């Protein structure tokens, strides 16, 4: 058993862990920092949407973990397993113990296909694909598709980048048009919520895109089972069907459809089994369910929902004042994106440095800013930027770039350039280096 003490111990070598470690070292090089991360590789996952549509090389999304860990930070290549925050201790799977003055918890989330029956067996095989796990297989699936029902879906759990399940759908639509398959294809987007996006001005733009692309959206559809052999995705309808005589299938009379559930109805094959509706598909892309890692959910750091319980403005733990958490694993009530981490990391760093120096928190606060680059086709994008209040809120720092001239809530080619070229550059050369952007 190794027992070693660090001033600051960071859990996770993803975007949040590397950015916080780099910023801390940049601001105070003498800090004694340890980083627990078992992975050998670090991925720029925001580009996986583009990989799945064959417009970005997968090789350019990955670098050796050793190359991004800041100089002077000790890399502990182990799995964090247990927390003893009362004793300022983290225990790894290998049984080694590490103590700290301050702890930063940022291991990200885990892909949890086991939460949907049959999904584990279906994932990334045959005509079922996901950019979240294997974007190369997504492209192979799109290439092999010969027409029919192309089903795109997302789970009811929180996920990384809530817009990603529909981005690949818009790109697939254009690919099908280029290959002359679109007229033989029905595209269906099934999602558990009642809106295409949580920010109205962005939702309005996306519904215009949906209309132009002739896509059928099925709201309030919660995926509960995947039958890969029969190619059926089974959904529970998350709307009270007992009141108001809601109708989810046309049965020859589209006028009777519940317009809150169906938009731009297409008569694709649907089976009914009890309260479940099974959409038959010829290909399916999905965002799998996601959750906090087990060692987080089972710890005293977790809230009732399983995510790390922190203050929404300071990211300080609700119970343990020397523990902070940010990124996907936290229970911050905002979308889980790298753009959110870009704004969260400076707050965490400022708070830790102020605590070390004066034993008080910084006056800086996180407003919930996040952004979702919503690719709507090859060469087109909308940039959804918003805060805790779901108010469209463009970042003044991004507005300094010439590409950001104009209304970013509307489709534009300049935003595509931002997504494909500028954001990866900022990620590797600024964020990973601890430079605030």
- Cβ contacts of 49 within 8 Å, gap of 6 or more: 131, 135, 164, 167, 168, 171, 375
Query: Quick one: which of 355, 426, 436, 419 has its CA closest to 384?
Result: 419
For residue 47, report the phi and psi dihedrals to the nearest 5 degrees. Answer: -85, -5
Residue 38: which region, alpha, beta or left (left: phi > 0; alpha: psi -120 to 50)? alpha
CA 307/CA 304 separation, integer angstroms:
8
Nearest alpha-carbon partner for 131 in 379, 375, 430, 382: 375
Enumerate the active-site residues.
161, 372
Listed in sequence order, the residues at least 6 apart from 203 whose beta carbon sits closer than 8 Å to its beta carbon are 195, 196, 197
- Give the span between the Cα atoms of 57 and 164, in whole angstroms: 18
According to DSSP, residue 198 is labeled S
End-to-end alpha-carbon separation of the chain, Å? 40
SS (H, E, C) 55-124: CCCHHHHEEEHHHHCCCCCEEECCCEEEEEHHHCEEEECCCCEEEEEEEEECCCCEECHHHCECHHHHCC
């Amino acid at each position: 058993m190794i027992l070693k003490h660090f001033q600051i111990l960071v859990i996770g070598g993803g975007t949040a862990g590397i950015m916080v470690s780099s910023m801390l070292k940049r601001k105070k090089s003498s800090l004694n920092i340890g980083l627990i991360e078992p992975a050998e590789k670090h991925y720029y996952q925001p580009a996986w949407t583009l990989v799945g549509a064959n417009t970005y090389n997968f090789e350019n999304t990955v670098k050796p973990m050793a190359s991004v860990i800041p100089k002077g930070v000790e890399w502990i290549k182990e799995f964090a397993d247990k927390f003893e925050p009362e004793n300022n201790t983290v225990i790894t799977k290998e049984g080694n113990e590490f103590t700290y003055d301050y702890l930063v918890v940022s291991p990200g989330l885990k892909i949890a296909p086991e939460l949907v029956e049959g999904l584990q067996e279906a994932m990334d095989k045959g005509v079922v694909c996901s950019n979240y796990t294997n974007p190369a297989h997504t492209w192979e699936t799109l290439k092999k598709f010969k027409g029919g029902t192309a089903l795109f879906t997302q789970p009811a759990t929180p996920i990384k980048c809530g817009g990603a399940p529909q981005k690949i759908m818009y790109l697939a639509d254009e690919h099908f048009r280029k290959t002359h398959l679109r007229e033989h294809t029905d595209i269906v987007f099934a999602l558990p919520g009642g809106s295409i996006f949580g920010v109205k001005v962005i939702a309005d733009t996306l519904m215009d895109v949906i209309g132009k692309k002739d896509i059928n959206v099925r709201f309030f559809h919660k995926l509960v089972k995947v039958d890969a052999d029969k190619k059926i995705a089974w959904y529970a309808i998350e709307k009270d069907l007992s009141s108001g005589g809601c109708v989810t299938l046309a049965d020859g009379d589209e006028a009777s459809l519940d317009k809150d559930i169906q938009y731009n109805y297409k008569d694709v094959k649907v089976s009914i089994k009890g309260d479940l509706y099974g959409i038959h598909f010829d290909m399916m892309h999905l965002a799998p369910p996601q959750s906090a890692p087990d060692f987080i959910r089972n710890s005293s750091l977790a809230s009732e929902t399983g995510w790390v319980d922190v203050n929404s403005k300071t990211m300080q733990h609700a119970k343990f004042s020397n523990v902070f958490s940010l990124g996907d694993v936290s229970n911050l009530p905002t979308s889980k994106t790298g753009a959110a981490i870009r704004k969260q990391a400076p707050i965490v760093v400022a708070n830790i440095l102020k605590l070390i120096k004066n034993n008080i928190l910084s006056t800086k606060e996180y407003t919930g800013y996040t952004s979702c680059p919503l690719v709507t086709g090859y060469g087109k994008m909308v940039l959804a930027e918003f805060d805790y209040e779901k108010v469209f809120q463009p970042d003044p720092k991004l507005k300094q770039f010439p590409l950001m001239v104009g209304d970013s809530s509307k489709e534009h080619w300049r935003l595509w350039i931002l997504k494909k070229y500028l954001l990866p550059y900022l990620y590797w050369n600024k964020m990973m280096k601890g430079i605030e952007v």
